Amino acid sequence: MLNTISRSWLLGGTWLAAVAVIVASSVAIGARVSTSVLLLAVCTVPAGVVLLIGLGAPSPTVAELLYTVNNRKDDRP
């Protein structure tokens, strides 16, 4: 079964389980709801940033940057 699961899915599932345990334990020890919500927000923001970065366009390679600089058509003599 572990051969069909990618490392990123396994890591993400483990991370989500850890966040759930942390939030559940904060509720169980009697923390205020606002504290639990803040803890959940602090735990989920890094995952959101990673998704935003990962789903964006890939960064250009050095060869692509050099090609655009050398083939730029400006008014230089």
In a domain, 77, yes or no: no
Number of domains in the chain: 1
Mean pLDDT computed over 2-17 = 78
pLDDT of residue 77: 53
In a domain, 2, yes or no: no
In a domain, 65, yes or no: yes
In a domain, 46, yes or no: yes
Structural domain boundaries enclosing 13: 7-70
Predicted confidence (pLDDT) at residue 21 exceeds the cutoff of 70: yes
Higher pLDDT, 62 or 1: 62
Per the structure block, which two tokens stand in for 53? 């970065």
pLDDT digits (tens, 9 = 90+) for 34-64: 888 888 888 889 888 888 887 877 888 888 8
Predicted confidence (pLDDT) at residue 76 exceeds the cutoff of 70: no
In a domain, 56, yes or no: yes
